[in-house]
Every structure is written in structure tokens, then in C-alpha cells.
Amino acid sequence: MKWSEISIHTAQEAVEAVANILHEAGATGVVIEDPEVLGRDWDDKYGEIYELSEKDYPTEGVIVKAYLLVNSYLAETVEEIKEAVNNLSSYGIDAGPGTVTLAEVQEEEWATAWKKYYKPVEVSERITITPTWENYLPKKADELVIELDPGMAFGTGTHPTTVLCIRALDELIQGGESVIDVGCGTGVLSIAAAKLGAASVRSLDLDEVAVHSAIQNVKLNRVEDKVTIAQNNLLDGIKGPVDIVVANILAEVILRFVDDAAAVLKPGGLFIASGIITQKEAEVKAAMEKAGFRVKESHYMHDMYDNEDGANDSFADTVAPPTIYDRNALISGWVCIIAERKAE
């Protein structure tokens, strides 16, 4: 079986948007080649030795790679991807160079390529995410392990926006809550909510590839008794009331359903919204307040764990970096907004 490796040279700001474009185009996985990893200290703590070469990474920006099956309509798919990347500017997202290149690879190469990029990462106080091929054992009595196969769909659960959402869930779920996960992707947030003690989780995504991926990951993590998965456009037709709505989606999409989020939440219910670049923070908060929310907290993280001076956190290989609570401590990055629905 032959696959085409599509590579998009983009900017840090656009990484998640580009990955989503590739996922919606039918990619079976995404690899992010960010030159900042060259400064990390890689070791064999989990049984593998990581040797990275500078020639595999761009000198500026980020390369986002995906793998598409070679078929009769591949050319049309690539053109649609190019158009979508070019259109990111209309959403206020800088796509950087936005150049797209193709290379043919064999299926065996793709299966092996995944494994050199991913290893277990502690993302919150209680949650550790590990790829399925790692024989990871919990290090703490209360540690909860989520297993993911990145080959199912884009996203390994360790992107800053996902980490911020999981940490918010870890802090806010006390046990017995009802949760809706909007734009579930791999289902990692739904799985986290279930493992943290939520009584029920509705996991929604419009893309059927994402729905299939979430179903597989939910079964893999044995939380299908709590999590139900459905193909759905945001919160269209969804009834409440529920305790928590969580969404790790682009700011432009959050703005489209903020009123619906308020409608399905109980008074005092919480809306956890991430996937938001700091440049869009004020706009999203204003929309939340207009919809009847009170913004409680804002949590921040640098792009892909970078610090403002270009350095990276030395422990970011196995433990996700700490959350930033002071907006003035970073120039740009990601924000997770926690808002409470006001009583009527």
C-alpha cells in the first residue's frame, strides 16, 4: 500500500489549524516537526534512544506532516488542503510560508515513523498520556493513565491546548458530573473526564474519522460505560442541562456556539474553552459575557512549550510544563478560559 507524505511549512500559531485541516482531509495521523525539540535532552528512560538530526527540521517555523493514501483523487485533496491553508488568514491566523510538498512513502515506513515522536507525558496532577506501544507503569497511587494510538487520528493529547483542558478537568471534576465534549477528536478529553470521575460524557464531532477514532480510544481505555460518542455539528440539537461543556477548538469555532453552550449548561455550570490563541482571548471572553457567562479563570501556556526567549522547558519530554496564570508573563501563546454560566 502506498501513501503520500504531505508536508506543510507553517508558523507556530497555525500548527493546530493546519493539523485540523489535514485531519479533515482524511489524514491517518500528523507529525509536527518543530526545531525546538533539537534543544531537548532526549534519553532512553522509556526504552528507546532518540537521535534527532538538524537536517530533518526547518530553520524557521514548523513542518506539519500527514499521510494520505495514494488514490485517484489525491490531487484534488491536495488542492483542497492548499486552499484551506491559504484561507487561514481570513480567520486572523498567520500560516507562515504555507508551502505544501509531497513525497511517496511505504506503509511500513509510516508505521515506524510515529514511534520516534511520542512517549509517555504527565499532563496533569493525575493524568499521564502514553502511546499504546509503551509499557508504561503508573508512578503514583492516584495516577490515571490514558492510552492513545496516534495513528488513529491527529492529536496525541500533549499539545498545550489539550494539556490546559485536561488540567482544568482535573481541577474541576469532583465526581458525578455530566460533561459534553465538543469537537472531541481522538476523544482524549472525554476519556480524561470519565477517568477523573464524571458520571456521564457525551463526545461529539462532525468528522466521521474523528468519531471512529474516539470510539476506538474509548474502548481501549475501558470507559465506554460512561462515554457516548456521536457525529454532530457542535451543539446543534443537543439538550441539557449538564454540569460541564469542554471544547478544544479554534476561537473562531467557539464563537459560533457560545450561546448554545450557555443553553445546555445548568446555572453555575462551567464552560472550559481552549484552542484559543492569546490574540483572540479578548474577543472570546466578550462573547462569553454577552452569552451570560462570568469568566472565572484564564490559564496560559507557550507555543509547543517554548519560553519567550526561545528556550524550552528541560522537563517537557516526560512532564508537560507548568500552567502560566499571569497573562503578562508571556507575549503570545495559548489560553484556556474557564467560564461559569450565571444564574437566571
Residue 328 counted as an annotated binding residue: no
Residue 43 counted as an annotated binding residue: no
Residue with cell 457525551: 202
CA atoms within 13 A on the CB side of 34: 21
Q: Would you state the cell numbers that stand for residue 59, as one nine-digit string?
A: 530553520
Is residue 8 within 8 A of residue 63, CB to CB? The reply is yes
Residue 59 counted as an annotated binding residue: no
Burial of 58 (0-12, 13-18, 19+ CB in 10 A): middle
CA-closest candidate to residue 166, choices 261, 89, 244: 244
Burial of 99 (0-12, 13-18, 19+ CB in 10 A): middle
Q: Would you state the cell numbers that stand for residue 307, as one nine-digit string?
A: 519560553
Residue with cell 474523528: 210
DSSP per residue, 273-329: EEEEEGGGHHHHHHHHHHTTEEEEEEEEE-GGGB-TTS-B-TTTTTBPPPPB--GGG
Residue 248 counted as an annotated binding residue: yes
Q: Would you state the cell numbers that stand for residue 249, as one nine-digit string?
A: 477548538
Q: Would you state the cell numbers that stand for residue 211, as one nine-digit string?
A: 468519531
Angle ∠(46,50,53) on CA atoms, nearest 5? 165
Residue with cell 478544544: 248
Task: Give the separation between CA 308 and CA 298, rounded to whole angstroms.
Answer: 19
The number of beta carbons lying within 10 Å of the beta carbon of residue 272 is: 28
Task: Give the separation between CA 170 and CA 160, rounded to whole angstroms.
Answer: 15
Angle ∠(158,159,160) on CA atoms, nearest 5? 110
Q: Which residues are annotated as a binding site for S-adenosyl-L-methionine?
A: 162, 183, 205, 248
Q: Which residues are annotated as a binding site?
A: 162, 183, 205, 248
